[in-house]
Amino acid sequence: MKKTLGIALVLAVAGCGGGGAAATTATTPARAAAASTASATPWEVQGQWAEACSCDIPCPCLDSKQPTLGHCNEMMYFHVDKGHYGTVALDGLDVVVVGQSTHGKTFDQSIADKDLPLTNTYLPSAASDDVAAAAEAIFSRLSFAMPNSSKKHAVKRSGLTARWSPDEIEVEVPGVLKAHMKVMKDDAGKPKPLAADLTATSFLGKGMQGVSVGFDFHDDGVEWTVKDRHAAWAPFSYASDRGPLPWEPGFKPPAPAPAPAK
């Protein structure tokens, strides 16, 4: 998945003049604590990942091409089935990362140039300071470092709700975000596999192709409304003891499998 190996979303992964959720900015004590302890605190998460964006199906960013609209509006959704950050339990946590790439560039290049116009992280209202710090430490990495490459970033605790099933996901941040995604199916009624190899990210499993039935966002002066665009599904799993991710300094590709004996 060249997009992810170059970047980050949503995931980008991704208002009309600053609405909605109460913000915790990038310079808060929670973010500082997460940054200072990210390498020292053991953590592990596993669950379900999905993305929606404003590009055609399949998203050209997955092949490091120009986004359909000239820029990509991206959302990444993570549902943690099981996880922890040190002693902080993360089971059942929903996390949304929303981002937008710079117009006229590939998503990869916008990440490399650190000029994403906006990347926000949204958490449920009930998330404690410890959970918010843990989520920022972990999911700023698993969203391909988008928050670290953005001109504007905030962590916001809001009325985030999500309804997830193997075939359909609905995510809402009241007044800010609505995303409704469905898995695409073939003529036999089976989920369509995603053409891109998500396993190259080191934390995603094999993906399925989806479609965003609706994808609206309005916050911090950024807004979009799209439908019938790209979406994707995959399981995710990662842990601190696995070291750097492919887009992080110090990453070492796994050694190639030995050739079979003749």
Q: What is the pLDDT of residues 194-223, one digit of tens each?
A: 999 999 999 999 999 999 999 999 999 999
- Per-residue confidence at 13, pLDDT binned at 50, 70, 90? very low
- Per-residue confidence at 5, pLDDT binned at 50, 70, 90? very low
pLDDT of 39 reads 57
- Angle between helix 129-142 and 29-37 (nearest 10): 60
Structure tokens at 35: 């940054």
Percentage of the residues of the chain whose pLDDT score is greater than 90: 72
CB 174 within 8 A of CB 213: no
In this predicted model, which residue has the larger pLDDT, 39 or 158?
158
In a domain, 71, yes or no: yes
Prediction pTM value:
0.85
In a domain, 250, yes or no: no
pLDDT of 254 reads 75
Closest CA to 114 of 25, 6, 204, 24: 6
In a domain, 44, yes or no: yes
Residue 72 has pLDDT above 80, yes or no: yes
Burial of 11 (0-12, 13-18, 19+ CB in 10 A): buried
Tens of pLDDT, residue by residue over 136-150, are 999 999 999 898 899
Structure tokens at 171: 């995510």
In a domain, 115, yes or no: yes
- Alpha-carbon dihedral sign for residues 225, 229, 235, 239: negative
Residue 43 has pLDDT above 90, yes or no: yes
> Other CB atoms closer than 10 Å to residue 45's CB: what's the count?
26
In a domain, 58, yes or no: yes
In a domain, 254, yes or no: no
In a domain, 258, yes or no: no
| Total number of domains in the chain | 1
Q: How many residues does the chain have?
A: 262
> Other CB atoms closer than 10 Å to residue 166's CB: what's the count?
10
Range from 5-19, 67-81, 108-122, 247-261 carrying the lowest mean pLDDT: 5-19
C-alpha span between 86 and 5 (Å, rounded): 27
Percentage of the residues of the chain whose pLDDT score is greater than 70: 84
In a domain, 259, yes or no: no
| Full residue range of the structural domain in which residue 84 is found | 2-242
> What CA–CA distances, in Å, run from 158 to 1, 24, 46?
31, 11, 23
